[in-house]
Structure 1
Amino acid sequence: MQVSEPKLIDGGAAVELTLGGERHRFHALWLRDNARDEKTRSPGNGQRLITILDIPGDTKIAEAKAAGGTLSLRFEPEGRVIDYDGGWLARNAYDRNAAREPGWTPEEVKRWDSRLLNHVPVESWTEVTTDRKALGRWLAAVRRYGFAVMTDTPTEPGTLCQVAELFGYVRETNYGRWFEVRAEVNPNNLAYTNLGLQAHTDNPYRDPVPTLQILACLENSVEGGDSIVVDGFRVVERLKAENPKGFALLSGHAARFAYEGSAGVRLRSKRPMIELGPDGELVAVRFNNRSLAAATDIPYDDMADYYAAYRRFAELIEDPAMEVTFKLKPGELFIVDNTRVLHARKSFSGTGKRWLQGCYADKDGLYSTLSAIEEEGLLQ
């Protein structure tokens, strides 16, 4: 990234420069704190070797020079000269003119509806376990769509845990390292029946919630039982467009979720159905009618409108135009971002067998592995 025309501003408290044709400003303290030199960052692991208190509070930039893709700065009172890569500066620039609308998502996130059915991201077990590039494509699809399918997996119990270990670790819960999804007598969860299930995110009563779920098919000879996925981020987009107040209520007030289905297990959480970051980024969706507890954090004057927004949110989730429906075959599985994509199933007959297994994992491992693959240049 070409660096040019550096100019000190505010008496050296900041510098203004051009990166690839765009003008940006950076504060001296920010630049000093984020220096990449070996005295500031460990060459081995990249961790910071200094604290904020090691940086003089009156730090200023005394001199700024640009040469090709490098910005060179001299900081006072330390008298140190530190170089900055233009590409790194461009990736971490924070001088933006316009605030983003609440509910925004990063560029790598693609919202979708039922039309994704013709473009479902799919990779085979053989490919992802022998070709790191194929694994990267699958993980990138999860980041982009919050959902992906894998075919030709072994139908041995526990294989889905091996899938999770391709990029991270299994999140063990009170349901076990993995859990069986098939009809049971007196189940401790409605998932273990042949009833249809409304689209939902799993375990919203946990804090933190498992951020990934894998569901793998070992047997499926029943009538019905089709799997359904819905992009919660696209649903939020529709809700916000038609009912801004409802969006504000569901994102501005906490819902409560609870689970009491097993002896000795009492799980509780307090989080909004639509979660936004401090800068308005759409971070997560939590929706699970079975686990919703009494809402006690909404003011009396807002409760009627809150419930109207909740009801409309549910209607949009149930809209067939939002659904991608498919029937898993033995040896097939799918993964969902459990903070974004809701999943459901249709009811199925009492004859035949439908045996799925599920497990949880987390996005930190997936994103870490994906970033490493990208840095290797395999997805260019």
Structure 2
Amino acid sequence: MTQVAINESGNILVLDHNREQFRFHAVWLRDNAWDTETRSPSNGQRLIALRDIDPKVQISAAAVEGTTLKITFSPENKDVDYSIDWLIANAYDRPRVSEKGWLADSIETWDAMLNENVPSADFNHIASDPSAKRAWLESVARYGFGKLSGGPAEDQALMKVVQLFGFVRETNYGRHFEVRTEVNPTNLAFTGLGLQAHTDNPYRDPVPTIQVLYCLESSAAGGENMVVDGFKAAMRLKNENSAWFDVLSRYCAKFEYAGEKGVALTSRRPMIELAPDGELIAVRFNNRSAAAITDVPFEDMALYYEAYRRLGEIIDDTAMEVTFRLEPGECFIVDNTRVLHARKAYSGTGSRWLQGCYADKDGLLSTLASLQSSVQEAAE
């Protein structure tokens, strides 16, 4: 049962749907009209600007017909049809989450218990079956990382992985980079040392949001890969001491990298980043690339370092880590705004050769949304 009403001034519409009530402003409804004069039928982009809408726009009439809401706007005397389902899905008259650090329902945090169920798939399967690719990308979006096996053990095979969902992001390291022992390396990642769990390139703005690491050789002892859910670590810190969470989200850390001639990268961002409404949207943690912290006032610096130290201890806790070994033809991808990755030290005998590259999460999420939309359209 759906009913509609208009307030006396005509600037608010009230929609009663399945015993829930939603209010919409006239200007919002007019701005979100989907008629062919307002939106391009071919790409859905707006054909008008807000300046083209009368600032005193009102609703002069509204009626429900089946699953459609019909509205007449004045002073244009313009009729527009709306899908009621679309209006409910996009309703903004809802209770707001006020707690800092909230997460979207599509995100699931994890710890070492996920070792029993690492989100994995076969490369050839997801390359040939859209439904399998959709399921794998859904897991990557939910957990922030995913593993692939069965790929070719050949130079730059990782490019084929990126082509499954997006585009390579080129950096000063090139379109891809080698991860193996080098003499006089420009980065600690290219040695046999173990690495603390970290997010990559926090000194970039914007930071690469997807990283791919692809194994080509793996006969050296050790070198297991580890991942840690930065969102889980941040929420654990918050539960232990909300002041620690607040100080790391309130002030910017500074990150820098100048390990190559002609390169001097710097960025200022909080280690725990929140959206204006308190949503937890990113974690940046990389001790190797941390510069002097200067954005924290004197009276909060001691607390900041307490929080920084404790966050590092949580990240280092083995109860937080998922560990796996990559064999030739296997790879994993991580959401670099959320999941920290690391590796254990490996020996000087044998060989260990991985290739890595960066991509961006918008491509992955776009591919996923397109696949989900295709499934929905087929069901209809």
Q: TM-score, normalised by structure 1?
A: 0.97
Is 1:30 paired with 2:44? Answer: no
Name the structure 1 match of 2:346. 348
Q: Distance in 1 between matches of 2:181 and 2:97?
A: 50
Q: Distance in 2 between matches of 1:136 and 1:329?
A: 24
Name the structure 2 match of 1:327. 325
Is 1:124 paired with 2:122? Answer: yes
| Structure 1 residue ranges, 4+ long, deviating more than 6 angstroms after superposition | none
AA aligned opposite 2:174: G
Is 1:80 paired with 2:78? Answer: yes
- Deviation at residue 10 of structure 1 after TM alignment: 5.2
Gaps of 5+ in 2: none
Name the structure 2 match of 1:224. 222
2:53 to 55, 58, 65: 55
Query: What root-mean-square deviation, in Å, do the aligned CA atoms of Structure 1 and Structure 2 show?
Result: 1.2
Name the structure 1 match of 2:9. 11
**2:192/2:347 contact within 8 Å kept:** yes
1:37-78 residue CA offsets vs partner (Å, 9 max, x unmatched): 111000000000000000001001111111221111111111
Is 1:291 paired with 2:289? Answer: yes
AA aligned opposite 1:252: R
Name the structure 2 match of 1:234. 232
Name the structure 1 match of 2:112. 114
Name the structure 2 match of 1:369. 367
**2:13/2:23 contact within 8 Å kept:** yes
AA aligned opposite 1:81: D
SS at match of 1:65: strand
Gaps of 5+ in 1: none
Name the structure 2 match of 1:250. 248
Name the structure 2 match of 1:67. 65
Q: Distance in 2 between matches of 1:208 and 1:169?
A: 16
1:93 to 81, 91, 94: 91
After the TM superposition, which residues 259-274 of structure 1 pair with which residues of structure 2 at under 5 Å, given as runs? Answer: 259-274=257-272
Name the structure 2 match of 1:146. 144
**2:3/2:17 contact within 8 Å kept:** no
AA aligned opposite 2:177: F
Q: Distance in 2 between matches of 1:348 and 1:198?
A: 14
SS at match of 2:248: helix
- Deviation at residue 95 of structure 1 after TM alignment: 0.7
AA aligned opposite 2:221: E
Name the structure 2 match of 1:105. 103
Q: Distance in 2 between matches of 1:366 and 1:18?
A: 37
Q: Distance in 1 between matches of 2:178 and 2:284?
A: 23
AA aligned opposite 1:341: V
Q: Distance in 2 between matches of 1:91 and 1:354?
A: 49
Q: Distance in 1 between matches of 2:126 and 2:117?
A: 19
Q: Distance in 2 between matches of 1:190 and 1:319?
A: 22
Q: Distance in 2 between matches of 1:23 and 1:318?
A: 47
Sequence identity of aligned pairs in percent? 56
- Deviation at residue 90 of structure 1 after TM alignment: 1.5
Q: Distance in 2 between matches of 1:184 and 1:322?
A: 30
1:10-54 residue CA offsets vs partner (Å, 9 max, x unmatched): 521111112343211111000100111111000000000000000
AA aligned opposite 1:218: L
Is 1:358 paired with 2:356? Answer: yes
Please, which moves more after superposition, 200-209 or 131-140?
131-140
Name the structure 1 match of 2:194. 196
AA aligned opposite 1:219: E
Q: Distance in 2 between matches of 1:166 and 1:225?
A: 27
Is 1:305 paired with 2:309? Answer: no
AA aligned opposite 1:272: P
Change (3 A) 1:10 1:180: farther
After the TM superposition, which residues 178-189 of structure 1 pair with which residues of structure 2 at under 5 Å, given as runs? Answer: 178-189=176-187
Q: Distance in 1 between matches of 2:260 and 2:296?
A: 29
